[in-house]
Structure 1
Amino acid sequence: MCGIAVGASAAQTITRHRPRRRGAGFARGRANIQDGRAENRARKGGALTIWLWLAFAPVLLLVALVLFTRVHQWRVERRYPPVGRFVRAGADDLHLLEAGAGTPVVMIHGASSNLREWTASIFDDVAARHHAIAIDRPGFGWSTRRTENGHDPRVQARLCREVFRDLGLERPILVAHSWAGALALAHALEFPQETGGILFLSGVSHPWPGGVGWEHEAASLPVLGRLFAWTLVAPGYFVRVDAGIRNVFRPNHPPDHYRESAATALYSRPATFLANADDLTRLKPIVREMAPNYPLIDTPLIALTGDEDHVILTELHTPPLVAKVPDAELEVLPGVGHMPHHVAPETVLAAIDQLVRQRRSSHTA
């Protein structure tokens, strides 16, 4: 009986202790499971956070870049307000500056520019001798760009003609730099009796091999072009502007404070950059179409170009044009790049004076 009693007592002891051991283990197991689940949830939550950041970071970056561009545009426009007045032409309001008296001399800027290109160079000297007019082409500076096919130099020539008529300008001398060379030629072809002469200054007249730069090609793309202009152009301007100015002027040195005096930052606004890209990427087929008609130009034309122009290849544009236009002269400036109105202003002014004299003599003949 003692054995049975002892066995019973042992059995009771085992029975009493066995649940306690099982309960503690079970609790620890449940705790481990819960800890594991919590850890898995934490891992999943961390992964989800990372994926959300990866998904939204580009959106946040784009928003930040657009806001930066808006602030940049606001600051640029406050720093470089309009300096002249506006004249309605077609669907556009064209911004211009005029001074002086006498024979009208209209200065038309090229790509990536505005009328301050002239006030930073020869405008005051021209105004001291003649009636000087500098104009922002449609979409540049402070001129609007609403007219259909506003990229076409022939359309821009028609808009300029409306401005000339509004101002009462009779047979103005057109001083056209770079891209605007095509505009002046279009004006002479379409309105020969209303063109007093052309100073073709490092201008474009014929098709050329190659493109116009990756940034302009990118900006000309549907949808993506606008995104590019509203996100990358403004910050890119600060990175590339000085190198770009040096490249346009080389081998010559830019004037001191050129960025400020020429208000180059106006070009970095989205709408202006897009207009510029449109002009550049769509010009080649237009000058190809215009070129066979150059022999019909009976307006006096002086072509001035530098022999070290790295922007416009002189041999592709200037000599072929002069060979076709009956009353044309060519002067190649040694050691001069794309900006002769800055580097050789006296030569440019002398050419303007010559065209003014020719206009007067033809007017009295």
Structure 2
Amino acid sequence: MTAIQTIKRLRRSVPGRRTTNSTSIVAASVAIGALAAIALLNQHLAKKAERENPPSGRFLRVNGVRLHYVERGTGDPVVLLHGNGSMIQDFESSGLIDLVAKDYRVIVFDRPGFGHSDRPRNAVWTPDAQAELIKLALAQLGVSNAIVLGHSWGASVATAIALKYPGLVRGLVLASGYYYPTLRPDVVALAAPSLPLVGDILSHTLSPLLSRAIWPLMMAKIFGPRSVPKKFEAFPKEMALRPSQIRASAAESALMIPDAFMLRNQYADLKMPVVIIAGEQDKLIDIDTQSARLHSDVTQSKFHRVAANGHMIQQTATDQVMSAIMEVAGQSTDLVAAE
């Protein structure tokens, strides 16, 4: 018997208010059943994505957190931190890892909850909390001083590392970052899957389906005005659409504005070389109220506006981002020589 037939039968057998109540119960049961089926489908797709995209690097266990990382090259260490909703394969597909590895020891982390790294629910993964995690991970890898690059949300983590452990950071490259609190209605909407209980239901049911539907629009916005480069086809979209990663991304969206509020008055404390780089036509973040303002607050910083580029400059302006890394490396070498 179908759900509709069941409802009709109940309507005939139960008069008055009881009919309405029974109909509501059946409708709720149907809705719950549909959500359960969608959740099972999303779970299947998530496991399939993980089978088809196995870890490409190694793992560290830091304070109970299993962190996935990739390491290549030799020389002075350079650490790359990806943005919200992303993972190591962003830097991999862009070609930046290979470029950096030619002259440096490059270390790239899947930040907590992204790619193949865990994100325990017993902690709030603020930039400060992630800074501590990355610092301890680098200590396990024998790194006590490094150039740190962060893209987008990763720029907040990179900045937190530099503020909390200034001796660890030889120089900073901050790409397409968000540093000062602004009114962002889109962030409120994106944060919904991070809510207790309701967020778990959304991230396991409707959010992955909605994300698949709007993926082309999302890509057009973050890459615009440039088109999505062919090399980005190597980015594992299905990994980004797993319920666990959608929830991690939502949690970082929820933290974005309050964390910017907490850090907004500390940037002048950055004393190491800092290079800020951002796309002139970033459709996600206003670079005048973010990157340009940060440049004015950090007096020794350099700021590069990349013409005809948007938010994803590590993909569309990879050589310029590599040049920013080399610029910081040169400045930090000059600083050491002067001392």
Global fold match (TM > 0.5) = yes
Structure-2 change in CA distance of 1:220 and 1:195 (3 Å)? same
In structure 2, what is the equivalent of residue 231 of structure 1? 205
Please identify, of 315-324 and 111-120, the stretch whose mean Cα deviation from structure 2 is larger: 315-324
Q: Distance in 2 between matches of 1:257 and 1:342?
A: 8
State the one-letter code of the partner of 2:68: H
Which residue of structure 2 aligns with residue 245 of structure 1?
219
Mark the CA change 1:335 to 1:181 in structure 2 (over 3 Å): closer, same or farther.
Answer: same
CA distance in 2, matches of 1:223, 1:245: 29
Give the SS at the match of 1:282: helix
How many matched pairs? Answer: 324
Contact 1:212 1:280 in 2 (8 A): no
User: Which residue of the other structure, out of 169, 172, 177, is the alignment partner of 1:195?
Assistant: 169
- The aligned counterpart of 2:57 is 84
Alignment of 1:1-365 (within 5 A): 44=12, 51=23, 53-121=26-94, 122-146=96-120, 148-213=122-187, 215-256=189-230, 258=232, 260-364=233-337, 365=339
* CA apart distance, 1:44: 2.4
Q: Distance in 2 between matches of 1:147 and 1:101?
A: 35
Q: What does the per-residue CA deviation read over 1:292-342, in whole Å, with 9 as the maximum and x for residues that have no partner?
A: 111111011000111100111101211111111132011111111001111
Q: CA deviation at 1:54?
A: 3.0
Following superposition, the deviation at residue 222 of structure 1 comes to: 2.1
Whole-Å Cα distance in 2 between the matches of residues 319 and 185 of structure 1?
16
- TM-superposed CA distance for 1:202, in Å, is 0.6
How far does the alpha carbon of each residue in 1:100-119 deviate from its partner, in whole angstroms, 9 at most, with x for none?
Answer: 01111111001110111100
Alpha-carbon distance between aligned partners in 2 of 1:186 and 1:148, rounded to the nearest angstrom: 21
Deviation at 1:148, TM superposition (A): 4.5
User: Matched residues in 1 for 2:27 and 2:200: separation?
Assistant: 24
Bigger radius of gyration: 1
Between the aligned partners of 1:107 and 1:190, the Cα distance in structure 2 is: 18
Structure 1 runs not aligned, ≥5 long: 1-40
- Between the two proteins, what is the percent identity of the paired residues? 27
Q: CA RMSD in A?
A: 2.2
SS of 1:302 mapped into structure 2 = strand
Once the two structures are TM-superposed, the CA of residue 129 in structure 1 deviates from its matched residue by 1.8
Select the structure that is richer in helix: 1
Are residues 42 and 89 of structure 1, via their aligned partners in 2, closer, same or farther at CA, if it must alter by over 3 Å?
closer
In 2 relative to 1, CA 53–123 (structure 1 residues): closer, same or farther, beyond 3 Å?
same
Deviation at 1:151, TM superposition (A): 2.3
Unaligned runs of 5+ in 2: 1-8
CA contact (8 A) 1:107 1:133 kept: yes
Residues 200 and 302, structure 1, Cα contact 8 Å, conserved in 2: yes
Report the 3-state secondary structure (helix = DSSP H, G, I; strand = E; otherwise coil) of the residue aligned with 2:157: helix
Query: TM-score, normalising length from structure 2?
Result: 0.89
Say if 1:212 and 1:281, in contact at 8 Å, map to a contact too: no
